[in-house]
Amino acid sequence: MSRRAIRDLWRAGIVLVLVMMVPVMMALPGVVHAGDQISDEQARTLLEGLDASGFEAKGEAVERVAASTASQRERWLQALLEGRLARERRGDHFYIITDDGGREWPIIDAITLEDVGTGSRRTINTITINNTLRTQIEGALAAMSLTAGDVKARLAAARALVGTVDAISVARVEDTLAEEESLAVREQLETALALHRVQQGDVDALETLRGHLDTRVRNTLVPLAEGDGELASEARGVLAGIERKREWHQRVQTLFFGLSAGSILVLAAIGLAITFGVMGVINMAHGELIMLGAYSAWWLQQLLPGQPGLALILAIPFGFLVAAAFGIAIERSVIRFLKGRPLETLLATFGVSLILQQLVRTVFSPLNRAVASPEWLRGSWQVTEALSISYSRLAVLIFCLVVFAALWAVMRFTRLGLEVRAVTQNRDMARAMGVRAARVDMLTFGLGAGVAGLAGVALSQITNVGPNLGQNYIVDSFLVVVFGGVGNLWGTLVAGMTLGVLNQVLQPWVGAVLAKIVVLVGVILFIQKRPQGLFPPRGRVS
């Protein structure tokens, strides 16, 4: 036989084998497509189980649906959980309600997922569940999500399982744990299993829960710790450790809240510290300059609708310039004519503050305005289960430190800063050395007013903007300036942060109002002993 004949025979044999395999593959569709589909009759049987008369029978049906290979199983359980799985009143058809807002509900076939028109309470009955069944369904959905390829989705599903594992689903969770590779997902699964085992009386499982900050763990251990026996005794020990750990996290969160509140005080007071230190002027309109900065942020957001992030970024230089312009105008038109007369200056700037408030009420209305935060400032960073940090407050804290660093650099490395320090220490000597004190006063007042505008931009992200916004911070600003040391930037920073933290620490004990009173009395007593403040000014102030 020739080589060509052998090759032709080989090809014919391959074709013959393939032809013979076709009917075999057609006869075994379940082998080729295993797990992809189930028959309509099998799907109907699963759905009928969910419509059983008793909740216990419905719970067993939920597990059968979760363990099935039906492609619609997640859709069914989600609809059942939301009260949107329904059955025909006079028939065997099952539907999923897609919108239950009106009298006629749009519905789809629960098996084919095709649109079948509308239904109402007269034509379909929704399948009801109780709280126990609701928890079981949530656990089943979470367990199904554990097979997703995305680690983030699996982690979210594992967290949802904590506190929902029961005797029916425990085996499935154990199998998932054995195959899981992500350490974070494994930790959540181990916690979920340990909670279930502790509820079954397993004392050894408490070791897994030791130091765990999840609220669901704590809620599970509290009733167990109230009993007698070894399990209750060990649970009390684990619970005590969890409470101590939560207290430390709460202290850290209180410290963060205090620093964020202190950063607002620093921003509000740092401009006042400069003008007060250089010119000796008690500017009662400083709060209104803060308000103008906040309104600048709001006004830019009206000009750029739908772009809060861009509006906020542009509001930083714009708010500075607006407040600085008003500050220079106040200095040129009022303050320079009243130098050396502190009482008249105080009264005049108080009148300016009233004028600015009424101006804002006339132009923008007396109603408070809300400034929308950009997407990247919303929400919070969940450091642990007991510690979360608000993005907006964290941004204000960072912004405060950046402004402080920039202002310190200006005062330390620029000619204006050198002249400001010279005028602060000895005005007459600075004039004798050729420093134009009047020009320094104007620029210093404008700089301090501009920083007040930056404080207003920051405040717009954590509170509403209104005509009386600045009045809430003027007294605290003077308190910070006096406590830290007149004209000293570092003193302002330390004093603002200190007062912010003290206020937050005292509030849980004595309340918000009394906490401010206690802080005020403490500062007064401190000033009695140390009139120069924490950081007294250098040189001879004249």
pLDDT of residue 148: 60
Contact status, residue 363 vs residue 355, Cβ threshold 8 Å: no
pLDDT at 328 over 70: yes
CA angle 288, 290, 295 (to 5 degrees): 90
Q: What is the mean pLDDT of residues 444-459?
A: 89
Q: Quick one: average pLDDT of 11-39?
A: 42
CA distances 152 to 192, 381, 469, Å, are 17, 16, 42
- Predicted pLDDT at 12: 40
Q: What's the pLDDT score for residue 325? A: 92
Structure confidence at residue 28 (pLDDT) = 36
Query: What is the percentage of the chain residues whose pLDDT exceeds 90?
Result: 11
Q: 421 or 80: which carries more pLDDT confidence? A: 80
Structure tokens of 310? 């861009």
Query: Which of 509, 464, 262 has the alpha carbon at shortest distance from 372?
Result: 464
Residues 493-501 have a mean pLDDT of 89
Q: pLDDT tens for residues 339-395?
A: 778 788 888 988 999 999 999 999 888 888 888 888 888 888 888 777 888 888 899
Count other Cβ atoms within 10 Å, centred on residue 473: 24
Type of residue found at 183: L
| CA distances to 322, 416, 417, 419, 488 from 413, in Å | 25, 9, 7, 11, 16
Q: What is the mean pLDDT of residues 536-542?
A: 53
Residue 404 near residue 493 (C-beta atoms within 8 A): yes
Looking at CATH, the fold of the domain delimited by 251-529 is given as ABC transporter involved in vitamin B12 uptake, BtuC (1.10.3470)
Q: Cβ(456)–Cβ(468) under 8 Å?
A: no
Q: Is the pTM of this model over 0.85?
A: no
Query: Does residue 11 or residue 315 have the better pLDDT?
Result: 315
pLDDT, tens digit, 9 for 90 and up, residues 193-213 = 888 888 888 888 888 888 887
pLDDT value for 1: 47
Between 13 and 415, name the one with better pLDDT.
415
- Pick the closest to residue 527 from 498, 487, 486 (CA basis): 486
Please count the CA atoms within 13 angstroms of the CA of 269 that sit on its side-chain side: 33
Average pLDDT over residues 427-432: 77
Summarize the confidence of residues 18-46 as an average pLDDT: 53
Residue 538's pLDDT is: 58
Q: What is the pLDDT of residue 147?
A: 65
Mean pLDDT over residues 115-142, rounded?
Answer: 84
User: What 3-state DSSP class applies to 39?
Assistant: coil
Place 323 in a pLDDT band, splitting at 50, 70 and 90. Answer: very high
Cβ proximity of 453 and 284 under 8 Å? no
The pLDDT score that the predictor gives to residue 26 is: 39
Residue-wise pLDDT for 165-184, tens only, equals 777 677 777 877 887 778 88
d(CA 79, CA 97): 8
**Would you state the structure tokens that stand for residue 148, as one six-digit string?**
């997703």
How confident is the model at residue 326, as a pLDDT? 93
Given a contact cutoff of 8 angstroms between Cβ atoms, the answer to whether 360 and 369 are in contact is: no
pLDDT score at 18: 38
228 phi, psi to nearest 5 deg: -120, 165
% of the chain with per-residue pLDDT over 70: 89
Give yes or no for residue 19 having a pLDDT over 50.
no
Longest Cα separation, the chain: 125
Return d(Cα 326, Cα 323) in angstroms, integer.
5
Q: How many CA atoms lie within 13 A of 173 on its CB side?
A: 33
Mean pLDDT across 92-107: 83
* Mean pLDDT score of the chain: 81
27-31, 52-56, 414-418: least confident range: 27-31
What is the structure's pLDDT at 386? 76
Residue 542 has pLDDT above 70, yes or no: no
Domain locations in the chain?
40-129, 251-529
